[in-house]
Structure 1
Amino acid sequence: MEVLVLGAGNVGRAIAYDLSKDFEVWVGDKSRERLNAVEDFANTIKVDASDFNKLVDTMRKFDLIVGALPGKFGFATLKAAIKAQRDLVDISFMPENPMELRDDAEKAQVTIIVDAGFAPGLSNILLGRIYQELDELKEGIIRVGGLPKIAKPPLYYKITWSPYDLIEEYTRKARIIKNGEIVEVDPLEKIEKVKIKDFEFEEFVSDGLRTLLDNIRAEHLEERTLRWPGHLEKIKVLRELGFFKPENIDFTLKVIAPLMQYESDDFSIMEVYGRGTINGKEKEIHYFLYDEAKEGFTSMARVTSFTAAIIARLVAERSCVYGVIPPEILGMRADTFTRIINELKERGITIERW
Structure 2
Amino acid sequence: MDILVFGGSGKIGSAIAYDLAQQKEVGSIGIVGRHKTTLDKVQQWIGSDKVKVHVLDINDKEATTALMKQYKVGALGLPNRKTSYKVAHTAIEAGLNIVDTIEEFHRTPDTDEVEGLEVPQGLAIEDYGEWLHNTAVKNGVTFVSGMGFAPGLSNVTLGEGIRTIDEAEKAVARVGGIPSKEAAARHPLRYMITWAFEHVLREYVIKLKVIKGGKIVEVDAATELEPFRFNHFGKDEQLECAVTPGMPSFLFTRPQLKEFAEKTVRWPGHWQGVQTLKECGLLSIEPVEFAGHKITPREFLLSLITPRLIPNEGETDVCVMYNTLTGKKNGKPIKIEYFMWDEPKRADISSMMRVTGYPLAITAKMMLMGKITEKGIVAPEDAIKGELYREFVDELKKRDINILEVTT
TM over 0.5: yes
Pairs within 5 Å for 1:24-35: 24-35=28-39
Residue 322 (structure 1) aligned to one of 352, 370, 375: 375
Deviation readout 1:134-159 (Å, 9 max, x if unpaired) = 11111111000101102124321001
Q: Distance in 1 between matches of 2:370 and 2:276?
A: 50
CA contact (8 A) 2:209 2:219 kept: yes
Query: Deviation at 1:94?
Result: 4.3
Question: Match of 1:17, SS?
Answer: helix
Find out whether 1:336 has 2:385 as its counterpart.
Answer: no
CA contact (8 A) 1:158 1:262 kept: yes
Q: Distance in 1 between matches of 2:53 and 2:219?
A: 43
Residue 338 (structure 2) aligned to one of 278, 287, 292: 287
Amino acid at match of 1:342: D
Pairs within 5 Å for 1:235-314: 235-246=274-285, 247=287, 248-263=297-312, 264-295=315-346, 296-314=348-366
Q: Please, which runs of 5 or more residues in structure 1 have no aligned partner?
A: none
Q: TM-score of the superposition, structure 2-length normalised? A: 0.83
Deviation readout 1:277-327 (Å, 9 max, x if unpaired) = 011110001111111112331111111111011111111122222211110
Amino acid at match of 2:168: L
Residue 228 (structure 1) aligned to one of 267, 271, 283: 267
Aligned to 1:182: 216
Q: Distance in 1 between matches of 2:105 and 2:151?
A: 13
Amino acid at match of 1:279: N
Deviation readout 1:147-182 (Å, 9 max, x if unpaired) = 110212432100122221011111011211000111
Residue 84 (structure 1) aligned to one of 94, 98, 116: 94
Q: Please, which runs of 5 or more residues in structure 2 have no aligned partner?
A: 110-128, 288-296
Amino acid at match of 2:4: L
CA contact (8 A) 2:95 2:140 kept: yes
Find out whether 1:48 has 2:97 as its counterpart.
Answer: no
Q: Distance in 1 between matches of 2:244 and 2:389?
A: 25
Q: Distance in 2 between matches of 1:188 and 1:109?
A: 39
CA contact (8 A) 2:104 2:247 kept: no
Q: Distance in 2 between matches of 1:159 and 1:337?
A: 31
Aligned to 2:191: 157
Aligned to 1:352: 404
Aligned to 1:3: 3
Question: Match of 1:202, SS?
Answer: strand
Amino acid at match of 1:351: I
Aligned to 1:16: 17
Q: TM-score of the superposition, structure 1-length normalised? A: 0.96
State the aligned residue count: 353
Q: Distance in 2 between matches of 1:306 and 1:153?
A: 28
CA contact (8 A) 1:3 1:25 kept: yes
Query: Deviation at 1:80?
Result: 0.7
Find out whether 1:107 has 2:134 as its counterpart.
Answer: no
Deviation readout 1:62-97 (Å, 9 max, x if unpaired) = 221111111221111111111111111111234853
Residue 166 (structure 1) aligned to one of 196, 200, 203: 200
Q: Distance in 1 between matches of 2:152 and 2:350?
A: 18
Q: Distance in 2 between matches of 1:266 and 1:15?
A: 18
- CA 1:132 to 1:95, structure 2 compared with 1: closer, same or farther past 3 Å? closer
Residue 74 (structure 1) aligned to one of 65, 84, 95: 84
- CA 1:328 to 1:95, structure 2 compared with 1: closer, same or farther past 3 Å? closer
Aligned to 2:121: none
Pairs within 5 Å for 1:52-67: 52-67=61-76
Deviates more, 1:273-282 or 1:235-244: 235-244
Q: CA RMSD in A?
A: 1.5
CA contact (8 A) 1:134 1:277 kept: yes
Question: Match of 1:37, SS?
Answer: helix
Question: Match of 1:262, SS?
Answer: coil
Structure 1 stretches of at least 4 aligned residues deviating more than 6 Å after TM superposition: none
CA contact (8 A) 2:2 2:368 kept: no
Query: Deviation at 1:190?
Result: 2.7
Aligned to 2:178: 147
Rg comparison, structure with higher value: 2
Q: Distance in 2 between matches of 1:288 and 1:174?
A: 25
Q: Distance in 1 between matches of 2:325 and 2:149?
A: 18
CA contact (8 A) 1:147 1:268 kept: yes
Question: Match of 1:155, SS?
Answer: helix
